[in-house]
Amino acid sequence: MFPFNLYILALIASAVVTFASLPCWRRWSHRSGFVDDPGHRKIHDAPISLAGGLAVMTGVVIPLLAAAALIYGGLWMDRASGSGTASAAGSAIRSLVSPEIQGALAYGISARATQLGAILLGACGMVFLGWMDDKHELRPAIKFGGQLLIASIVAGAGVRITLFVDNLLFSYLVTVLWILTVTNAFNFMDNMNGLCAGLGAIGTWHFGSSAAIHGQYLVATLAFLVCGALLGFLPYNFPRASVFLGDTGSHLVGFLMAVLAILPHFYTNENPNALAVLTPLLLLAVPLGDLIWVVMLRLRIGKPFYIGDTNHLSHRLVRRGWGRSQAVLLIWLMAEALSCIAFL
C-alpha cells in the first residue's frame, strides 16, 4: 500500500517552504549584490536575483529537519512515557503512515544513514560551489575539480551504480562520471526561464513515482521533496523571471537528479527486466542529449566545450520561430513523453 499522504505531505511542505522563503532570499540577494546583471547573451535589462537555488535548498532541508524532529521526538516521548500512552508527536506520525511503512522508513534511514549524510553534504557542497561560481566566475578547472571532489565523496559513501559488473573500481568510476555528467547537463540547460527547474520537477516526479510503485518509500519521499521544492520555485521563474536558479541552483538540481537516478532499484525481483536499468537514461534523455550535442558541436568547431553559446536545443527552437516560453513548454513536453515511455 502506497503512503500517498506521506508523499503528498512531502510535496506540499517543500513547495510551501520554497515559495514562502524565496521573497526573503530575493531581498537578501539584492542587498548583498548576489544578482545577475544584464550583459552579453542576457535577455533581461535589470539585475535579477540569483537566490533560486538557495530557496530550493531551503525547501528540501527544512521539511527534512522538521520531519526528523517530529519522528524522533515522538519516538523518544513514547519511550519516556513508559505507560503505553502515545505522545502527540508519535500519534501525529502514526496518523500519517501505517506502522509497516514507518518500519520501512526507519529501516531505510538506518541502512542508508551514511549515504544520506553524504548526499546532504554533497548537496551543500554543490550549492557552495555554484554560489562561488555565481559570485566570482570560477575558472573551469576549479569548478570541475570541486564537482569531482563532491562526486568522489558521494560515491565513496556507497551511493554507487552497480549495473551488472561486480567490480568496485568500475562502479566507483562510473558513478563519479554519472554525477559529473548529469550535474553539468542541468547546468547547461539553465539557459531559459523555467527550463532547468521544470525538467528537474518532471524528472523527480517520475523518479518518485517509480520508487513508490516498487515500495521504496524513503527514495520516493526524497524525490517528492525535491519535486515540491522545484514546483515552489517555478512561479517566480516562469514565464517571467524575478529570480534565477543561477549556478547555485543548477548545480543543486543536477546533483540531486544524478543521485535520485542511482538510489532506486529499477531492476528487482518484482521487475526482473534488465532493460529497466535504462529508465534513468530515458528520464534524463533531454538534458543529456542537449549536453552531448553542444559538446560535440563545440569540439567540432574548435571551441572549448565549457564556453557557453546559443546552440542549445532551446536556442535552436527560438531561432526557428518559437517563442521562448513556447520552446520551454515544448522541451518539457518532450521530457514528459520520454518519461512516460520509460514506464512502458
Contact 314, 177 (CB under 8 A): no
Q: Give 25-49 pLDDT, tens digit per residue.
A: 999 999 998 998 776 555 666 789 9
Q: Phi-psi bin for 307: left (phi > 0), alpha (psi -120 to 50), beta?
A: beta
Candidates 109, 147, 103, 153; CA nearest to 128 is 147
The residue ranking higher by pLDDT, 186 or 137, is: 186
Residues 263 and 267: their CA atoms lie apart, in Å, by 12
Helix axes 246-262, 168-189, angle to 10 degrees: 140
DSSP 1-65: ---HHHHHHHHHHHHHHHHHHHHHHHHHHHHHT-EE-S-TT---SS-EE-THHHHHHHHHHHHHH
Alpha carbons 217 and 154: distance in angstroms, whole number: 21
In eight-state DSSP terms, residue 87 is P
- Whether residue 84 is predicted with pLDDT greater than 90 in this model: the reply is no
Most confidently modeled range among 5-9, 247-251, 260-264: 247-251
Look-up: residue for cell 546532504? 120
The pLDDT > 70 percentage for the chain reads: 80
203-207, 273-277, 278-282, 309-313: which is most confident? 203-207
Report which of 55, 29, 63 is spatially closest to residue 232, judged by C-alpha positions. Answer: 55
What Cα–Cα distance (Å) separates residue 303 from each residue in 134, 159, 312?
A: 23, 34, 15
How far is 230 from 223, CA to CA, in rounded Å? 11
Range from 74-83, 118-127, 129-138 carrying the lowest mean pLDDT: 74-83
**Residue 101: per-residue pLDDT:** 64
| pLDDT at 243 > cutoff 80 | yes
SS3 331: helix
Q: What is the mean pLDDT of residues 253-278?
A: 73
Lookup: cell for 149: 571532489
Burial-class residue 307 by CB neighbours within 10 Å (0-12, 13-18, 19+). exposed
Over 90: is that where the pLDDT of 94 sits? no
What's the mean per-residue pLDDT of the chain? 85
The reported pTM is 0.89
pLDDT > 90 in the chain, percent? 60
Q: How far apart are CA 303 and CA 306, in angstroms?
A: 9
pLDDT average, residue stretch 200-212: 93
Amino acid identity at 160: R
For residues 88 and 278, give the distance between their C-alpha atoms in angstroms, rounded to a whole number. 44
What local confidence, expressed as pLDDT, does residue 13 receive?
A: 95
208 close to 229: Cβ distance less than 8 angstroms: no
Is pLDDT above 70 for 107?
no
Mean pLDDT of all residues in 321-343? 94
pLDDT of 131 > 90? The answer is yes
The total number of residues written for the chain in this structure: 344
How confident is the model at residue 83, as a pLDDT? 46
Q: What is the pLDDT of residue 43?
A: 62
- Listing DSSP states for 137-168 in one string gives ---HHHHHHHHHHHHHHHHHTT----TT---H
- pLDDT tens-digit profile of 272-306? 555 666 788 899 999 999 999 999 999 999 888 88
